[in-house]
Amino acid sequence: MATPLILASSSPYRRALLQQLQLPFQYAAPHINEEARPGEGADALALRLAKRKTEALAVNNPHALIIGSDQVAECRGQILGKPGNRSKAIAQLQTCSGHKVTFHTGLSLLDSESGRQTSTVETFTVYFRTLNSAQIERYVELEKPYDCAGSFKVEGLGITLFEKLDGDDINTLVGLPLIRLVDFLSEFGIDPLNPEIKC
């Protein structure tokens, strides 16, 4: 690949997902304001932040393909952020117990040289089992999901919290929709199965 590929994220989960494509890439934190605007819906917020992340890194990387992704979860009309600590994680899981949680994952790919950008929002819905306090506290104690929106890690013990999953790409739930990203990369001339040749 002649053009550097940069992931606009410091998330270890997104880096691990992108590594599955076996393309060389760099990563950097974009340092943007992630607060929702008044009246902004979860899907619109996820899309705007994904775009802003790419644009923030483009300033210092004028000849790169930059990947931005941001995830916003909502349950019962409430946006769920990263809990940050044990008590908030328990409270989030109590809110989610017996309900569905929809994850809106914004994805954007920006060619910082040409300014060409393509973006979308992928959704994934999880249906929580009805959980009792002991189950919730035990889960939080074992996985400490304090840096995860929705307070779970689906790639770990979090799978035990759900009755059903509904979505096209399980990676969307973790934070980077790889199936759609491969489509985007192809549009920009990159094939992970043959990265030396333009598509």
CA angle, 99 then 174 then 40, to 5°: 65
What is the model's pLDDT at position 199?
A: 46
- Which residue of the set 43, 70, 147, 168 is catalytic? 70
- Residue 50 is predicted with a pLDDT of 97
Given this model, what pLDDT does residue 117 score? 98
- Does residue 198 have a pLDDT over 70? no
Tokens 């890690």 correspond to what residue? 153
Residue-wise pLDDT tens digits, 44-102? 999 999 999 999 999 999 999 999 999 999 999 889 988 999 999 999 999 999 999 99
Q: What is the pLDDT of residues 16-25, one digit of tens each?
A: 999 999 999 9
Tell me what pLDDT residue 81 has: 86
Whether the per-residue pLDDT at 155 is higher than 90: the answer is no
Which residue carries 């990676």 as its tokens? 171
Alpha-carbon gap, residue 107 to 70, rounded angstroms = 7
Q: What mean pLDDT is reported for the chain?
A: 94
Sequence length of the chain is: 199
Q: Is 147 a catalytic residue?
A: no
Q: How far separated are the first and last CA of the chain, in Å rounded?
A: 12
Token pair listed for 4: 């550097």
* Closest C-alpha among 14, 1, 2, 12 to residue 108: 14
Distance CA 1, CA 75 (A): 41
What is the DSSP track for 109-155? EEETTT--EEEEEEEEEEEE----HHHHHHHHHHH--TTSTTS--TT
pTM over 0.85? The answer is yes
> What share of the chain has pLDDT > 90, as a percent?
84
